[in-house]
């Protein structure tokens, strides 16, 4: 088949940032067919309703989904409500808590609200896998389970590792994996997107579709985004994340804290800056700080708009470049009971002002030299400090409170 210019352009958009397109020729065939017949492809992405908050790491496959939408295809978002309802029956996993239908629905709504910042609602289909799994009887499960062998399952990286180590793998974990694949049969997906950790599950979907007489989906894997520490995978529990609903100034500041080597991935996966421009920005004729400012503007602009990005940048310059105070600092009035002879325990002040979750954390921050009052660092976690109306308490680079008496 002759590859049209349109097809080549589409492939270039889709390919950007991907780890693997498997099999690539199948994607080309599907796209060519879609272009010829003017029939959109169905691009599946599975959403875990136990973790509703989207950060930049989650946004990577969602943005790829948006690329497909912009090319005229349909995004099929599968809400894994059934899995959430069931939880992890073994009770061993902390990642699969059992949720109530209300919690699931609320999480799904939170997620969809946030995803609306990335996806095009016009080309979006949202389905819930409880619709088919809830109706399945034992014999249907046996039928599903008969489609896959134990040996094949044990090829999955984490299973093979755990099996080799002698760590228990419960049989229902095999079923979870099959369920995810069976979602593809139900939604008749042409393409499924996922992180590299989902590669095996995406291939299970292919096999189950083939068994069901469908043309198997193309599996596209996206890299795991590194967190703001520049080393670990971005995750809420590691605290190295940037939530997509964070205030523009916060988001801008977090991106500016990113180590330089992480910029290329961020540009590629989180912006539409063309490849040659990325090269120029990261090349020897450009200062890394300028590249990072551009990166922060692009990302903040994507979620909050160009004005918000400009404001966030101005604010950042004021506080971090010119070392001025931020334009807006929340007030805090310590309760009378915390004062003694006009003084307050510094850890209690930090906690009270909401700049630490506990006095223990506050003490730790003080010990790390992260706490100052009116630009004077407080080093002693046990210090009692005089309370002065209007004094500015600062924790780390970006958290402030003004004491009001």
Structure tokens at 157: 């990286």
Residue 68 or 174: which CB sits closer to its own copies? 174
Q: What is the DSSP secondary structure assignment for residue 310, as one 8-state letter?
A: H
Tell me: does residue 140 bind its own copies (CB under 8 A). yes
| Shortest reach from residue 112's CB to its own copies, in Å | 24
Tell me: does residue 94 bind its own copies (CB under 8 A). no
Q: What separation in angstroms does the CA of 87 have from each of 48, 94, 95, 135, 365?
A: 11, 10, 9, 17, 37
Report whether 385 contacts 378 (CB < 8 A). Answer: yes
Tell me: does residue 142 bind its own copies (CB under 8 A). yes
Report whether 195 contacts 45 (CB < 8 A). Answer: no
Structure tokens at 92: 């061993």
| Shortest reach from residue 88's CB to its own copies, in Å | 7
Tell me: does residue 367 bind its own copies (CB under 8 A). no
Applying CB under 8 A, which part among 109-117, 169-177, 220-228, 304-312 lies near its own copies? 169-177
| Shortest reach from residue 213's CB to its own copies, in Å | 15
Residue 19 or 171: which CB sits closer to its own copies? 171
Tell me: does residue 170 bind its own copies (CB under 8 A). yes
Residues 6+ apart with CB under 8 A from 403: 331, 332, 333, 334, 349, 353, 387, 388, 389, 390, 391, 392, 393
Pairing type for strands 331-332 and 384-386 reads unpaired
Residue 4 or 167: which CB sits closer to its own copies? 167
Residue 149 or 237: which CB sits closer to its own copies? 149
Rounded Cα distance between 313 and 21, Å, is 37
Residue 18 or 184: which CB sits closer to its own copies? 184
Tell me: does residue 97 bind its own copies (CB under 8 A). no
Tell me: does residue 174 bind its own copies (CB under 8 A). yes
User: Which position among 4, 6, 13, 89 is part of the footprint of its own copies (CB under 8 A)?
Assistant: 89
Residue 82 or 252: which CB sits closer to its own copies? 82
Tell me: does residue 146 bind its own copies (CB under 8 A). yes
- CA angle, residues 231, 233, 234, in degrees to nearest 5: 110
Residue 184 or 228: which CB sits closer to its own copies? 184
Of 6, 82, 76, 89, the residue nearest 41 (C-alpha): 76
Structure tokens at 7: 């097809």
Q: How many CA atoms lie within 13 A of 117 on its CB side?
A: 23
Report whether 42 contacts 185 (CB < 8 A). Answer: no
Applying CB under 8 A, which part among 35-43, 64-72, 151-159, 199-207 lies near its own copies? 151-159
Q: What are phi and psi of 128, to 5 degrees?
A: -120, 125
- The crossing angle, in degrees rounded to 10, of helices 275-282 and 263-270 is 160
Applying CB under 8 A, which part among 32-40, 166-174, 233-241, 312-320 lies near its own copies? 166-174
Structure tokens at 354: 């909401």
Residue 38 or 137: which CB sits closer to its own copies? 137
Residue 89 or 121: which CB sits closer to its own copies? 89
| Shortest reach from residue 140's CB to its own copies, in Å | 8
User: Which position among 16, 33, 147, 236 is part of the footprint of its own copies (CB under 8 A)?
Assistant: 147
Binding site for its own copies (CB under 8 A): 82, 85-86, 88-90, 133-134, 136-143, 145-151, 153-154, 159, 163, 166, 168-172, 174-176, 178
């Amino acid at each position: 088949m002759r590859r049209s210019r349109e097809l080549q352009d589409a492939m270039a958009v889709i390919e950007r940032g991907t780890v693997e397109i498997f099999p690539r020729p199948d994607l080309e065939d599907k796209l060519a067919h879609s272009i010829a017949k003017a029939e959109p492809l169905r691009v599946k992405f599975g959403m875990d309703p136990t973790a509703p908050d989207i950060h930049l790491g989650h946004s990577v496959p969602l943005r790829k989904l948006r690329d497909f939408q912009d090319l005229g295809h349909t995004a099929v978002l599968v809400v894994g409500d059934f899995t959430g309802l069931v939880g992890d029956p073994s009770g061993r996993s902390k990642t699969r808590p059992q949720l109530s239908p209300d919690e699931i629905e609320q999480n799904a709504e939170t997620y969809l609200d946030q995803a609306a910042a990335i996806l095009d609602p016009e080309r979006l289909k949202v389905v819930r896998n409880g619709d088919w799994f809830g109706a399945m009887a034992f014999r249907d499960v046996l039928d599903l389970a008969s489609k896959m062998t134990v040996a094949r399952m044990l090829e999955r990286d984490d299973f093979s590792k755990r099996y080799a180590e002698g760590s228990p793998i419960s049989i229902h974990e095999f079923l979870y994996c099959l369920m995810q694949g069976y979602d593809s049969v139900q939604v008749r997906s042409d393409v499924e997107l996922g992180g590299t950790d989902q590669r095996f599950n995406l291939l299970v979907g292919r096999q189950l579709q083939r068994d069901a007489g469908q043309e198997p989906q193309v599996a596209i894997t996206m890299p795991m985004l590194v967190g703001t520490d520049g080393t670990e995978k971005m995750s809420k529990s590691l605290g190295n994340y940037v939530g997509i609903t964070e205030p523009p100034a916060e988001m801008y500041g977090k991106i500016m804290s990113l180590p330089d080597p992480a910029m290329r991935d961020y540009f590629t996966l989180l912006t539409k800056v063309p490849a040659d421009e990325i090269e120029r920005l990261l090349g020897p004729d450009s200062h890394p700080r300028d590249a990072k400012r551009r990166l922060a503007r692009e990302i903040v602009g994507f979620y909050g708009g160009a004005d918000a990005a400009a404001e966030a940048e101005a604010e950042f310059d004021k506080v971090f470049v010119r070392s001025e105070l931020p334009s807006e600092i929340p007030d805090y009035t310590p309760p009378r009971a915390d004062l003694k002879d006009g003084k307050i325990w510094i850890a209690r002040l930090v906690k009270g002002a909401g700049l630490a979750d506990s006095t223990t954390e506050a003490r730790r921050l003080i010990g790390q030299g992260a706490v100052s009052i009116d630009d004077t660092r407080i080093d002693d976690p046990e210090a009692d400090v005089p309370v002065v109306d209007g004094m500015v308490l600062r924790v780390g680079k970006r958290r402030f409170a003004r004491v009001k008496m």
